[in-house]
Copies of this chain bind each other. A is one copy, B any other.
Amino acid sequence: MVNAHETGDRRPNTRTGRRPGESTTKDTILAVARTRFADAGFDKTSIRAIAADSGVDAALVHHYFGTKRDLFVAAIALPIDPAEVLKPIRSAQLDNLGATLATAVLQVWDSENGESVVAAFRSIIADGDTDLISTFLLQIALKDVAQRVNHPVGSAPLRVNLVASQMAGVLLTRHVLELEPIASMPADELVALVAPTLQRYLTGDLPTTRTSPG
């Protein structure tokens, strides 16, 4: 969605049609970004630091990739901007958050883009580049949701973890393990089944609602 759009770099394997050296520079920036985001997390990583490590100006990083969030999305090679996917959630009623979230996420996974998401998911699990995905889930994809469900204060990380566990499990059973009947079930039926789980995790009275583990 992000840099591919802005640079016109849409063909598979395309490293052509640009000035020599540009794609190398972009690759360097992406590699540096992946390392920094994984090491320090999203909030504590600056475009300036990534630019410095890459031997370029911050302005060039912005020129190539847009905002810091755009750079992150490009760095983890997401086929879809999570902000787009999660847009409906911002306007959803609090008591309908579970169903809205499940619907939005399933729409992506079940779409043509879903294949890339499943591929990314598999390779992340295999390669163990899990710091990036944790950062992505907690600090980016589910950040807006977290802010809305932080009751009592400090319970948001746990709530978001639980939601991630159920949705990752659905992705796994539906699109990786392809267990039946979940694999072939219409999305709206699957949403109806898991939405109460998500809703309880997001707004329910959990036995352990606190920030950090004992």
Contacts and interface: CB of A to CB of B under 8 A. Distances in A.
A162 interface: yes
14 contacts: A123-B126, A125-B125, A130-B177, A133-B177, A157-B181, A164-B177, A166-B197, A168-B168, A184-B213, A185-B214, A189-B208, A189-B213, A189-B214, A196-B200
Contact of A193 (B130, B162, B180): B162
Given A173-B165, A208-B193, A178 B122 contact: no
Contacts of A176: 125, 128, 130
Interface in A99-142: 122-123, 125-126, 128, 130, 133-134, 137-138
| SS of A interface (majority) | helix
B207 A189 contact: yes
Contacts of A52: none
Interface string A201-214: 00000111001111
Interface size bracket, A side: 35 or more
A88 interface: no
Given A122-B125, A168-B173, 18 more contacts: A123-B126, A125-B126, A125-B176, A126-B126, A133-B177, A134-B177, A157-B180, A158-B181, A162-B182, A164-B169, A164-B177, A164-B179, A165-B194, A168-B168, A168-B177, A169-B170, A172-B172, A193-B206
